[in-house]
Amino acid sequence: MNILWIKDGKLGHEKQVKAILDELSRTIDIKVYEEKCVIGPLERLSEILMYAISSFSNDLELIFLKYRKKNIHLIIGAGSNIHARVLGVKKGMKLKFNKDILAMSVLTPIYFKKHFDLICAPKHDRHKLSGHEVIYFEGSLAKVSTEDVDENVGLIAIGGKNKHYLFNVNKIMEQIEFVTLIYPNKTWHIFSSRRTPQKMIQAIKKLAQSNKKIILSEDGFDEMLRNASIKIITQDSMNMVYESLSTKGSTILFDMKYLRKNKVINQMNELLNNKQVGYIEYNEMVKGLNKIQIHMQNPHHEIFAEVEKLAYKIKNKLNLS
């Protein structure tokens, strides 16, 4: 089976699609072709309008020619920047070469929902997709790992400025210092993201200079996530939370104040209420005196395997073999 993957260059989107393709490849013989589509808002709007009137850009014309003889069965992609391109390739190959190709969206498309043969979407988007051909999953998709963890390794994953939670650098740094003090025998690998403020990165570097058990890491996140016995993650990083839950070891969330209730906040709160994750409790007793403690997740929690369930349903829904 030949699959064309339209990529938008966003790591969080691409990791979820790759998790699906890797899982499908375990039981289906597939060949994946990749096309990168990194565009801005104006280009995206142009592609949407051109798709609506069955007109095709030069970029799409090149893709038609490139894959005309590749016998593509399925086009897949995630993210609003590539949804029109996925559908454009499907429509163009039909109009120009009379080739029927399936189009699948990972995550919820904004436009032309009914034009997709299948949509794979998180449950919290259910209200947007009534009446469409959808397979739902919880949270975010991640590769499953059952590897044993190293009790001497901990991981801290830091997000940054976002529209869901207040990102208080000082408060998060206090929690990092607390955690590394109560687990002094662990080597802590701290990973930042493109959203992490420079103020926080500098504070972590300074802390690492005084504690050789703290390493500000840039590479090897996936491997360290599998190895770490404890993973502590900021709540704004939903993809990283579900990646952690798809591995062994404990997942703990930093104490953060939400800005307003929305689907991301509700999803994190559901994990907390069900004790599927642990959390750090941070209380200011009096000015300058804070009480911090860790509440562990349910010790009998199961590794998340959403991508395995989803791949099975995709195969059945699309009759893939």
Reported as a single tens digit per residue, the pLDDT across 223-232 is 999 999 999 9
- Residue 213 contacts residue 184 (beta carbons within 8 Å): yes
Q: Is 222 helix (H, G, I), strand (E, B) or coil?
A: helix
Q: Indicate where the chain has its CATH 3.40.50.280 domain(s).
A: 2-141+308-318
- Residue 78 contacts residue 107 (beta carbons within 8 Å): yes
Q: Indicate where the chain has its CATH 3.40.50.2000 domain(s).
A: 150-295
How far is Cα 22 from Cα 37, in angstroms, rounded to an integer?
Answer: 21
What's the token pair of residue 69? Answer: 């003889």
How far is Cα 125 from Cα 120, in angstroms, rounded to an integer?
Answer: 10
What is the per-residue DSSP string for 136-164?
EESS-------PPPEEEEEEEE---S-SS
Confidence of residue 131 (pLDDT cuts 50, 70, 90): confident
Model pLDDT for residues 60-91, shown as the tens digit of each residue: 999 999 999 999 999 999 999 999 999 999 99
Q: What is the pLDDT of residue 263?
A: 87
Q: Is the pLDDT of residue 165 over 90?
A: yes
Confidence of residue 197 (pLDDT cuts 50, 70, 90): very high
Model pLDDT for residues 9-51, shown as the tens digit of each residue: 999 999 999 999 999 999 999 999 999 988 888 888 998 999 9
Confidence of residue 321 (pLDDT cuts 50, 70, 90): low
Q: What is the pLDDT of residue 223?
A: 95
Confidence of residue 168 (pLDDT cuts 50, 70, 90): very high
Q: What's the start-to-end Cα distance of the chain, in Å?
A: 7
Q: What is the pLDDT of residue 286?
A: 64
Distances in Å between the Cα of 232 and the Cα atoms of 175, 188, 249, 299 are 10, 10, 11, 16
Instruction: Give the residue from 164, 167, 75 showing the smallest Cα distance to 124.
Output: 164
Largest CA distance in the chain: 72
Amino acid at 310: L
Q: What is the pLDDT of residue 126?
A: 87
How far is Cα 155 from Cα 157, in angstroms, rounded to an integer?
Answer: 7
Model pLDDT for residues 274-318, shown as the tens digit of each residue: 999 999 998 876 666 678 999 999 988 889 999 999 999 999 888
Pick the CATH number of 150-295 from 3.30.2080.10, 3.40.50.280, 1.20.970.10, 3.40.50.2000: 3.40.50.2000
- Average pLDDT along the chain: 92
CATH architecture assigned to 2-141+308-318: 3-Layer(aba) Sandwich (3.40)
